[in-house]
Structure 1
Amino acid sequence: MRLNKRVKSLILPVLIFSYLITFLGIYQIQKQSIIHFQSSEAKLQLNQLVANLNLYLSFADTYFPALVRSAELQNFLKIEDKRFKALAIEGNLEAAIKELDDVSIGYLSLSILSPDNQVEFYYENSDDPFSEIDPRIPEIVKKRRETFTPSARTLIKHNGSIRLVYVRFIDRYTLRQPLMKDWSKAVAVVMAFDIKGFDQLRQTLKQTTGRISELYAENQPLPVSGAMIQVSHAIPNLGSIYLEVDNKFIQELLNELYLRISVSFILLTLCSYIVLNNLIKRYITGPIQNLEHEITEVLEGHKQQPLPYKSDDEVGSLSRVFAKLYSQLHGAYEVTKEMAEKDALTKLYNRRMFTRCLERVLHRAEHNNQKVGLLYVDLDNFKFVNDKYGHETGDILLKAFATRLQDTVRTTDIVLKFYDHDLARLAGDEFAVLLHEFNKDAVLYKVAERILSLFDNGFTCEVGHFPISASIGIAIYPNDGANPTELISNSDAAMYQAKHAGKNQYAFYSQELASQARRDKEIETELKKKNFSEFEVYYMPIIDTKKNRVAGVEALLRWHSKALGFVSPAEFIPIAESRGYFEAIDLWVIQQVIHDSKTLLELFGNHLKLSINISSAQLSSQLFSEQIAKLFNQTDLTSVVFQLEITETFEIQDLTKVENNLHDLKKLGLSLAIDDFGSGYTSLVQLLNYPIDTIKIDKSLVDMMVDTRRCAMVIALIKYCKQQGFQVTAEGIEREEQASILIEAGCDYLQGFYYAKPEPLSAHIEKANSQPIIKKSS
């Protein structure tokens, strides 16, 4: 058969098959694109709904607390005579509420319910003089009261619209959240209002785009439907917004796409067949040779990418396929390159790429005689957030910080002028900012201050507000390092110094910083080993001022490291707390004191109280409290009095959990004391809420007593504690004058070098019969 006839009989099936596969692929791709586009549009519309709802939530979150604390509400709750309430109070209260009419939210009501769930006051912004409270509101209040929920917000439906209900329980006289003991007396303040704009937006979406949306309460399950596209968004402490796209609407788009693809397929196949039949002889050999030459040029590297032919013959098709394949391979290469250079989570440079970038920058700076600044940023308390809220929350927080870090460093102004920068994520919560081609050193601390400003009052991102801050170390080339390794290491050392100095600040590198950082690293390394054989418990006597005898001993931890020598508690305790090592140390000390308790009672008498320091960093851990309970449950607490002294070297993050754990420890029969009072974080309000037996006045306050004015202040503090029913112990007594004043002020116990220094148990045994501890105060 001749070639032209063979072409006629073969080319049509080949064209049909080729184009059919191509258009089927195009159809599948376009189908996914349509679905993806509609899904994205649904998410945007959902976000619009969420934003609209958040306006109402923001309004309620702002206005409702202010209303609860208002003078009108306070007067209303405090006046008992109902006649005077109506005449003197309700008018002012309703006038204050009517100011809300300027906010276009439709229906709004305010009600106050008594402890027995009776309506004391009801107001709504309607013209109906006989309006009554929604009967569902007392039921909501009743359920919240039964579950001891201080405040809550929920959803109810009314005539097809959605109504938000805010409930807050307050003490009638203080307007604050009631204590648990006063819960039965708390009144409920309830605000309910229609989210009119939100409902209108939902109806508009349904009528114009066929989007069906609904708002579900927190305890309502989301519907299970056969919709191809359905999205939802969780509203914290409220519920979820759900939106779905009608399948008929999607199917209409797909049918239209199928029709266009089919017509395009038929037309292209016929045209290609006619053109190829007429031009095959003319365009068969020459184009093949040209294509071969083009491919060879690309493969040999003489051209960067192939130029596809515009012709519709086989050679043109082959050329386009090759160009497409080359484009895909090049795209895969770019993706692989990004994976090798960028951090997968934050899309910043990874450590490997950042080091290479730093090498180039330092090489250029050396030739141009320029400085290079490296800021090493570490997120404080990130481990706490990661452990408490989960790694997913931690990842979202890191991504949010990376985005804001880019925006912060990218900012330019008159002070900073223009400079170049590179950013990287070096490790889990450690980031680096490389600044070069800047004119003034002021750029470095200005950028550091801007980064720290991201953490004013913590850090807020899409999943919540967290107690996160940053510690920043700054090193400058060439003074602080001549190569990438030295510069990174020294900026890391400066960062640790900033963290050691109290966090949420920045520090420049210096030799002193390096020495301190090495020391901290060495201590941390040794602490990781948990070699408790290097630890020893010392006991310091506590003197009863009334009975003039040893009333107790305080267990103090001492560390004699084989590698580091003697390590002061002031050095290793903050490091152990911040790195999470102190839980095991606390438990070991408790076990050791329990083991020594029999000998201590024999030395000092059965009246002896054994005091053990525990870190406040552990008090928010339920597991740690359970481990303490397990240890003391194995001990006869009826014959031994143990006292846990809560140190304040670490700021407590979750006060509610701390209070609950302290009450659980108190139930075990343990005595509780606040140690170093006056130098830590405990406020007087927390002092009254904690189930504390003893207050230990810090040595820094005792030392102030040389000043008459400050002495009076310390004495007043002691008397205040005594009036609240606390026993008072003064620490750091070094002179007879201090002891005399403190005894006269009413201190129950005294402790310090004036009486006895802390010593190991063996030393106390040796001295038991040789010298008395008690000293008479003149």
Structure 2
Amino acid sequence: MTLGKRALILIFPVVLAGYLLAAVSVHVTQSRSIRALEHAKLSQRLEHAAAVFQNEIGRSKGFLNALLNSNSLRQYISETDRNYRANALGVRLQESVKSLSDDPMGYVSLAILTSDLQSEYYFENSWDPFAEIDEAQLNLSRRLIREEKLADWTYLSDAGQKARIVYSYFLDPVTFTRPLPSKKSGALLIQVAIQPDRFLDMQETLKQEYGADVVLQPWPLAVTDDLSASVHLGPSLYATLTVSSDHFDQLMAQQKLLLALGAVAMSLFSIWLIIVLIRRFITDPIATLDANVMAVMVGAHDEIRNMAEKGEIGRLTENIRELHRQSEQSLKLVQRSSWTDTLTGISNRGHFNAVAAGIVREAIVSGEKCSLLFIDIDNFKFVNDKHGHEIGDELLKTLATRIAMNVEAITERRGQKPAILARLSGDEFAVLVRSRPGDGTVREVSAAILALFEDGFEVSGKSYPVTASIGAAICPDDATNLAELISNADAAMYQAKTSGKNRSSRFSRALHDKRTRLRQIQDELRSLDPDEQFHLVYMPIVNTDGRVTGCEALLRWYSPVLGNVTPDEFVPIAESSGLFTKIDWWVINQAMSDCRQLKALFGPDTILAINISSAELHSKAIADYFSDCLNRHGLQPQSIEIELTETFAVKFSDQLRRNIDELRQKGFRLSIDDFGAGYTSVQQIIEYTADTIKLDRALVSNLTASQSLPVLRALIALCHAKDVAVVGEGVDTPEKLSMLTAAGCDLFQGYLISKPLPLEDLGIWALTRTARYGNEKDDRKNQQAIA
């Protein structure tokens, strides 16, 4: 039997069964999806009806409240002359009832009943001028008089009567307020009834669409397999709609037909296409190839040509076996070459991982140790870019050769097993040394590699300015598997790189703890709720008279996982990982929400200073967000001073300039924080306008410690020449305060005045300070009086 016939017999029933099964699966899946969709649609429609119903309830309550607050109802109840009340005041009250409805034809009624159900007044906006309160509403009134409730609403929908929402309220006719429960017998029962036209229309629409009535009942819908839904309208009132199964069956009938026809058509087409493709690309070529390959293999022909042979399956099996043996030999050659780095000729990452993983496992089992040196070439990209990739490749090849020679010489001299050298990627190399603990091998290998770069690295008679950073990790002291060993050595390498390059660094537990904490901080920042873990403290700013003119908002973070996390820890992580927008916006909103309390403590002219990150200044939305918060909390922009760190001027982009100009146009104050920390120049002071300059605490300490009063005066005078106020930060001693005052500083901030305090403690500080300064002021007055 040929392959074509075999394929037809085997594939046809499988394909047909597969399409039928797929059609059934699609039908079942779509049936569930359509049922779920219809159920969701039904629930949504009922929820909409419930919302309309609640709106009608609110409308009835609003009508009643409007009447209770109107003079017409008050005059009607207070009037003792029954004729005047019935004629003149009754007409006025009737007009008030009509005016409450937007629809002049809409049904609304007002009933005033005594505790013994005597009707003091009844009016309904209908075509019946002689309408009276019906029995259903009277029964409702009886029930309400018996109960303890003083206000309630009820939906009346008895057969043969208008469906309406009745809002009832007991009113003391003397005080015109809600009576005490004990005084209920002398109160009037005020009832406003409206007809929920929109709800009734929606009820009718649902009935026409689904062919079923919306049932109002005092209990929710029981869980069934039917297409149904129930929604809560009020106390002991639920709207329920159960759709007949015929409605859903009609939706699915057309789908069943289309799926059945599609399954049959696709089966026939797929079978035909598969047979054509198998014959074209498999059976015919296999038969021809089998004959030709066999002829060549047995030496009957020098080249492949067509030969008629029988039993192609058997012969193809033998040919495949031969090809497999040849493939195995080829695979070994490919594998051997795949373990070698094509550029340098040493092991590549794949071979290194395979060999090094075995060495690590052996070291752990035997109790021995091995050390991994992770080598990164500093400034290699510079050489590649400046001198070309050919020079860069030659540098890597020369480096690999020299490292191999040095490492091999050291291990042979020490009588140790050969080290494993590999190029992991780009300009990164790894050396795995199997040495005894404390024998100095790792130190000697690191020194030998670093010595290659002492005067630049020489290639073909020319020196190139590259160096090496080496990180070392020891197994099992620092790691118990290869992946962890490489990771820790890589971390140690970065430690060496940040320490000045062309040096080595050993992985330590402190480095591990630092990496772990940085990772934990980043993870916590991603998932935390600022309202739960962040809080603000405020640091007062005073003038030369000691009066508080402003407060700076400072962010504090207490994490249930990490404890207290300082801004020096989490701010750089948040900025580098793009998480600071969430923090900045929370600080802005929270600080503005506290601003009114600050003004209550220190006066209406108190200025709130808010720090924002330099990265956030480049956001297009920052100015709009400041304005939104300002409007939300009812503040003036002159009360808010936005503190920009002096680093903002280093990369002064067009977007940044537009943002700052927009903030100033909106009326916000701007200040440059940490002035003198190392970036701001005199030209930048002249170019970038600000309302305030805040002298960095380090600058203040240096100038006051060296008694550089002339320098300090000149600096402050330069700021004053630009009409900029100067704030001295870090004022923690009387000497600093005196020197800053003598130099002409306008404002002061520091621990001598107050440390950052929560809003509650700041209030206590303000009261204490007010009392102390009041006593000092009285003492000065007394001394002046004595003089």
The TM tier, using the shorter chain, reads 0.3 to 0.5
Question: Which structure has the bigger radius of gyration?
Answer: 2
Give the alignment's TM-score, normalised by structure 1: 0.46
Give the alignment's TM-score, normalised by structure 2: 0.46
